[in-house]
Structure 1
Amino acid sequence: MPGPTVSVIIAAYNAMPYLTRCVTSVAEQTIGRETLEVIVVDDGSTDGTAAELERLNALYPDLLRIFRQPNSGGPSAPRNLGLDHARGRFVFFLDADDHLGPEALERMVHAAERNSTDIVLGRTVGVGGRGAPASMYDRNQPRTDVFSSRVWWTLNPMKLFRRALLEEHALRFPTDLPIGEDQVFVGAAYLHADGISVVADYDCLFWVLRADGGNITRRMKGSELRVRFLPRVVDLLLEHVPAGPGRDHLAHRHLTVDVRNIVVGQLVHEPRATQQKMLSQLADAIEPLLHEGMNRRLSAMARLRLHLVRHRMLDELIALVAFERDLEESGAATPLLVENGRAYARYPFLRDPARPVPDHCYDVTDRLAVRHHVSRAELSGPTLHLAGHAHLHRVPTHDVGTELVLRERDSGVEHRLPVTHTATPGLGSDEDQGRFVYERAGFTARVDIATAAGGAPLGDGLWDVSLAVGAQGLSRETRIGRVRAGEVSGATRTHVVTADGGLRAVTLYTTRPHGNFTLDLGERKHTVLSHLTVDGIRWAAGAPVPELEINGLCTLAGYPEGALRVVLDDGRGATAAFAARRDGDVGFVVRVPVTGLAAGVWGGELRLGGWALPLPPLPAGLPPARWRRHGLPRYAKPAPGGAGRRRFALRVARTALLRALLRRLRRPRRP
């Protein structure tokens, strides 16, 4: 008989009242109880956990397997015991405080089997004020790894593991680490895994903050416990990941998240002797991960913090923590020192002669935020008109030098165009406690597609619109459009304009999902013909002479007056053109006086410059039109075979008088 699909392992220590909901959430999984086993290890509980397990076992007798042991002091031993007894193809570790969404295991098993992956992460939601990891859940990821995603930023074990992976590599939780054991276990599993899936479109795990503060990471106080596990994780990286961008990507998490948690959450609250000892051990632990190239990945604050740790500058580190706390409480950004084309945050000890901290620890030039707002973006003929404001956050608008940048997406060809700077009195006074005001952040710009390429026409392509926002020798580029006034449309609008001696298609649209403006020249993504429709052909009512009336829709945002027309040809070199007139917002009407057409069979197209849309067949049953020319009768009617060939075909001819007379004579007379 095959074993269960999933073994859910729950380590329980004084888990009431949370245990009830935890186990119940597993029993009610849509994957079905027949596919599950729940292994609960009571790690020496002294509350009502044991009695509740007996009650739940009676309620779900074929689901639970209960083990008991003396308290081990951490979750490693009970999880290992559960893993030793697990029979499922997959294992899911669930803390007794937490619970699952009803479809969690079904969705996660499906992801593992469909994508042949060894580990599946399910979206985690914090409950009761508990923070939950989020950056790795921005989208579903059928198959990824630790180097091309953010999964390394969640190293808790509440994930679905293929049990064969854990057994093949003899992976178990280290029992000598009361906390941080999950980082060692999960990190090793990640690095050995053949593919990782992420289920981001369903709330799989609910991560609960206990009202009594009983979550283990909150019970375990002190920097020593945290500094103890960090070298183990560093050794894991050094052993399994070659030096280079991949290792740096993973190291970033520990050099930022873990180091800050240790320093801010624990070390600064401890006795002086403990601080000095733990700071020294922390410095030794992170040293193998630090190198000059790593600095480019880190924020200035992280660089400064790591410099102080690395050089064991305890007093300065404590002062930095106080500065960060005040910074968060104020909600105002730190002022900058702008010098020689670089920007430095005025964090503690900048240019302090008594504390030689290098400038690169404060350099924020490459991370300056650009704020922008578009108040106008519209095409008028061949000219794009733009207006709004843009500035570098925390850099006053002295010596502004903003440019408009057009960059063709495939080739990378770019053109820079000047803008006109305009005044923006009081801009910025409503943020950062009014510390920074941007008085000349406004801009207006005109892009004439006939001259934007250095006096020449812009070539066909997708031209992304950006601003190179400059002030005081600094410059940062940003795509524009995602922040715009309510009256500025982000809808796609295709125009046919007069340019270069002819007609060109120009589309202004916003990208998805970011909403930035792009110009499409030459119908790379947006075609003109998709905006043209002929939806009716009939004889015009009340016309003094027979006129064929052609109705249709043109949903282009603009096109030159008189450029839209119907062109007929008789296949022998003769043509006749008839201009369309607008009918409402998007409709058009073309009148074709057939009395002016020479005898023959006429085909036809709807044309707009070089674009041509074949006219549809004339309606079946359309009666002939008759008139006289020079006293002789003529007619126009659908030509035989036109409808069958799905093309417009109009026969214009003189009436054969003798044949018409004979037909009339053959008609039976009415009595």
Structure 2
Amino acid sequence: MSDAAVPDVSVVVGAYNAMPYLTRCIRSVVDQTLGRDRIELIAVNDGSTDGTGEELDRMAEEFPSVVRVIHQENSGGPSAPRNVGIEQARGRFIFFLDADDYLGEEALQRMVSMADANSSDVVLGKMVGVGGRGAPKSMFKRNQPKTDVFSSAVYWTLNPLKLFRRDLIERLGLRFRTDMRTGEDQPFVSMAYLHARAISVVADYDCYYWVEREDGNNVTRTTRGTHPRIKYLRVMMELLAREVKSSTKRDILLRRHFDVDIKSALRHLLRETEPEIRDSALAEIQQLITANLTEELTERYPAVHRLRLHLARHGMLEELREVTRFDQARKRGKVVVEKGRAYAAYPYFRDIGRAVPDHCYDITRELTVRHHLDVAEMDGSELELSGHAYIHTVDTVDTAIEAVLRERDSGVEYSFPAENLAAPSVSEEAGEGMYDYGQSGFRVRIDTLTAADGQVLPSGLWDLHMRVRSQGIVKEGRTGNKRSDGIDSEARPRLVHTPDGASHVVTPYYTKPYGNFTLDVGQRKHRLQSHVKVDRAAWAEDAPGTVVISGHVNAGVSPGDLVVRATSVERTVDLAAFQTGEVTSPGPFEFRVSLAKAFADKALPAGVWELAVCLSSPDLAATVWVPNTPGLTTSRFRRRGLPAYAKPLDKRQVFSVRLALVDPVAGLRRRLGIGV
């Protein structure tokens, strides 16, 4: 790269005692598909003593057009090297890469392309853990060309290992805090997030490999103590109070800090051995919780976290320690159900001396329905379901179960009360010795012809839920991913006839990747036509002018549902009156169609006709053309005493046949060689 050329990306690597990981890190940058002429790598050796500096110099000699090395005294953390890199960067974008980690070879190309296409100021590339290190996942479920911190999960990753537009960094004057031992990246990244024109996410490619060092010396692993975490928490909460005026929006972001950072601070607090340090840290945490934790935010957390926050807020350190031990040991007392609410039996529940409010133990919102399908099959227009469903940790007392079909797009739903059945084995298998699920069995039949309040179930994708009512608590769960091995899981359309003579297609299927049960009504995802295959056509040996059409159908149809049709340039003719045959549903079919009789009855006039297998229902379009069978000879027959023929036309993809009377004059001319 010439001195005048402006690179697309300045990759900043701060390195301290990073051997042997460093070599792979640097090579992953210089080998990027973006191209070396579009990249500069600024490596800052932060006073290493293990040969890191020498290896950087060697790499700079090997790749002089890409790698620049800066040596400095040890600064004690990652902030100063990154800040030096920012000062030296010339690229349109800056990417921060830790010296332990490495990039996928297309990472920078994909992220720069995403930024340029969407005018993004920050781009997150999918991270994957290496060596047992856990990587963020929630924000990488799908590509997001344009998003922000309030409508996506990007705020849940505040590390700087991302692509930033350099203009944004300079406009905001962003630099990493050098006065914090941990969390120094959070103010930098959050300010970039909040002021970005757009944030993008590249989730369909593994961009960043986040490495767990074998020696355990990752910076985030080596920072000890509660006070360093309290320090950046205070900074972040002040920053959000200043930058985000809406309390509703601020709560969205604060949730991440209370769920991740406060939890981490409390964990470290319980390890503090010096009483003075422990007491001062507890007092600061109390202040942070009191000043920033709203009731609305509190209600978003699971009960055990609400309980921890309450105990910390009120300085109840020993109680906090006991609840933490209880939770880590995964102990569980029997859930208490009263007046339609469920309470976990965590320590100090209704302990008069501690006076912890019940809402800290309320797990009603967290309860889930557990379910299993033993039977799920269509019988004509009816769907038959049976199995069991119960609210986990709630006895099946005063229990009622409903099947619910909810249309995915509109949210319209219809419910169907199920017959309650005894299921003693469920208590034995899942009751944990504490819960009675003996009335969790169900059986229900749903007629798709009357499911919509007496009307035919409309076209749509109807997801199955099981709704369970027990002891005043109502919960429901998407159903189907737990089912018996004997259930047919293949999506197989069924043709259902309505009383007024109309027809519609119903396809039970299981979604991917979750495996939940859905009814596709009206061929929204599954076309019946694609489940009908015509294999071949041949002449019947015992009936001149009769064609035998064979194939397979992987759908629920009756013999009268499929009809052979003939099409010419001018018209289409239904040949049901001239057709006999059998259909095995699902399975093979074979139709015998007498073209000779259709020609004799003048249903098929003389001319060229193409054959197809279709649905007989006039309101459902489905056409499967009969493939041509090369080499078929002309079939000769008589029409009302006169010679006639059906001649296949070889050069067509579709089975095409010419029907006509034999012209005796033309035949004589051919025999005599006249006019040939």
Is 1:166–2:169 an aligned residue pair? yes
**Structure-1 separation of matches of 2:665 and 2:53:** 111
**Structure-2 separation of matches of 1:39 and 1:571:** 74
Is 1:588–2:590 an aligned residue pair? yes
Superposed displacement of residue 361, structure 1:
1.8
Deviations 1:442-468 (A, max 9, x none): 222211223334444434433222110
* 1:551 equivalent among 549, 552, 561: 549
Q: Which moved more, 1:573-582 or 1:500-509?
A: 573-582
Superposed displacement of residue 391, structure 1:
1.9
Secondary structure of 1:586's match? strand
Which residue of structure 2 aligns with residue 363 of structure 1?
Answer: 362
Is 1:407–2:406 an aligned residue pair? yes
Matched AA of 1:169: L
Determine what percentage of the aligned residue pairs are the same residue: 44
**Structure-1 separation of matches of 2:526 and 2:24:** 54
CA contact (8 A) 2:174 2:188 kept: yes
**Structure-1 separation of matches of 2:564 and 2:209:** 65
Matched AA of 1:562: G
Q: Which moved more, 1:407-416 or 1:351-360?
A: 407-416
CA contact (8 A) 1:223 1:266 kept: yes
Matched AA of 1:633: L
Which residue of structure 2 aligns with residue 233 of structure 1?
Answer: 236
* 1:208 equivalent among 188, 198, 211: 211
Superposed displacement of residue 254, structure 1:
0.3
Paired residues for 1:569-580 under 5 Å:
577-580=577-580
Which residue of structure 2 aligns with residue 41 of structure 1?
Answer: 44
Is 1:633–2:642 an aligned residue pair? yes
Superposed displacement of residue 494, structure 1:
0.9
- Compute the TM-score of the two structures, normalised by the length of structure 1: 0.87
Deviations 1:83-137 (A, max 9, x none): 1111122212222333333333333323323333222222223333333222222
Which residue of structure 2 aligns with residue 623 of structure 1?
Answer: 634
Secondary structure of 2:400's match? coil
Which residue of structure 1 aligns with residue 76 of structure 2?
Answer: 73
Which residue of structure 2 aligns with residue 508 of structure 1?
Answer: 508
Distance 1:188 1:599, change over 3 A: closer
Which residue of structure 2 aligns with residue 145 of structure 1?
Answer: 148
**Structure-2 separation of matches of 1:522 and 1:182:** 52
Which residue of structure 1 aligns with residue 419 of structure 2?
Answer: 420
CA contact (8 A) 2:566 2:573 kept: no
Matched AA of 1:228: K
Deviations 1:28-59 (A, max 9, x none): 33433333322222333344434444444444
CA contact (8 A) 1:534 1:550 kept: no
**Structure-2 separation of matches of 1:185 and 1:600:** 80
**Structure-2 separation of matches of 1:51 and 1:409:** 60
Distance 1:423 1:574, change over 3 A: closer
Which residue of structure 2 aligns with residue 260 of structure 1?
Answer: 263
CA contact (8 A) 1:566 1:580 kept: no
CA contact (8 A) 1:468 1:475 kept: yes
CA contact (8 A) 1:184 1:236 kept: yes
Superposed displacement of residue 223, structure 1:
0.7
Matched AA of 1:558: G
* 1:609 equivalent among 598, 601, 617: 617
**Structure-1 separation of matches of 2:589 and 2:479:** 33
Matched AA of 1:200: A
* 1:87 equivalent among 82, 90, 112: 90
Distance 1:80 1:428, change over 3 A: farther
Distance 1:581 1:154, change over 3 A: same
Is 1:100–2:103 an aligned residue pair? yes
Is 1:392–2:391 an aligned residue pair? yes
* 1:175 equivalent among 174, 178, 197: 178
CA contact (8 A) 1:599 1:651 kept: no
**Structure-2 separation of matches of 1:481 and 1:435:** 26
CA contact (8 A) 1:123 1:200 kept: yes
* 1:280 equivalent among 283, 295, 302: 283
CA contact (8 A) 1:568 1:576 kept: no
**Structure-2 separation of matches of 1:574 and 1:444:** 43
Matched AA of 2:26: V
**Structure-1 separation of matches of 2:5 and 2:669:** 93
CA contact (8 A) 1:567 1:578 kept: no
Q: Which moved more, 1:113-122 or 1:54-63?
A: 54-63
Secondary structure of 1:109's match? helix
The alignment's C-alpha RMSD in Å is 3.6
Superposed displacement of residue 181, structure 1:
0.9
Which residue of structure 1 aligns with residue 132 of structure 2?
Answer: 129
Distance 1:429 1:104, change over 3 A: farther
Matched AA of 1:42: N
Matched AA of 1:484: R
**Structure-2 separation of matches of 1:361 and 1:455:** 45
**Structure-2 separation of matches of 1:32 and 1:94:** 17
Which residue of structure 2 aligns with residue 441 of structure 1?
Answer: 440
Distance 1:248 1:598, change over 3 A: same
Deviations 1:489-542 (A, max 9, x none): 332111113432434322212233332222233334434444456665554222
Q: Which moved more, 1:617-626 or 1:256-265?
A: 617-626
Secondary structure of 1:562's match? helix
Paired residues for 1:414-563 under 5 Å:
414-427=413-426, 434-436=433-435, 438-502=437-501, 503-532=503-532, 539-543=539-543, 546-553=544-551, 555-563=553-561
Distance 1:294 1:578, change over 3 A: farther
Is 1:352–2:351 an aligned residue pair? yes
Secondary structure of 2:424's match? coil
Secondary structure of 1:274's match? helix
Distance 1:130 1:576, change over 3 A: closer
Secondary structure of 2:207's match? strand
**Structure-1 separation of matches of 2:119 and 2:538:** 61
**Structure-2 separation of matches of 1:129 and 1:595:** 75
Superposed displacement of residue 403, structure 1:
0.6
CA contact (8 A) 1:415 1:454 kept: yes
Q: How many residues align?
A: 657
Superposed displacement of residue 559, structure 1:
1.9
Deviations 1:327-383 (A, max 9, x none): 2xxxx6553211111112222222222222222222221221222222221111111
Secondary structure of 2:477's match? strand
Distance 1:573 1:173, change over 3 A: closer
**Structure-1 separation of matches of 2:353 and 2:666:** 120
**Structure-2 separation of matches of 1:101 and 1:607:** 51
**Structure-2 separation of matches of 1:147 and 1:421:** 44
Secondary structure of 1:40's match? strand
Paired residues for 1:23-34 under 5 Å:
23-34=26-37
**Structure-2 separation of matches of 1:476 and 1:565:** 47
**Structure-1 separation of matches of 2:60 and 2:34:** 20
Matched AA of 1:635: A
- Compute the TM-score of the two structures, normalised by the length of structure 2: 0.87
Q: Which moved more, 1:441-450 or 1:430-439?
A: 430-439
Is 1:302–2:305 an aligned residue pair? yes
Matched AA of 2:133: R
Distance 1:618 1:23, change over 3 A: closer
Superposed displacement of residue 183, structure 1:
0.6
Deviations 1:376-425 (A, max 9, x none): 21111111111222222222223321111122334433221122233333
Superposed displacement of residue 184, structure 1:
0.8
**Structure-2 separation of matches of 1:534 and 1:24:** 56
Secondary structure of 1:396's match? coil
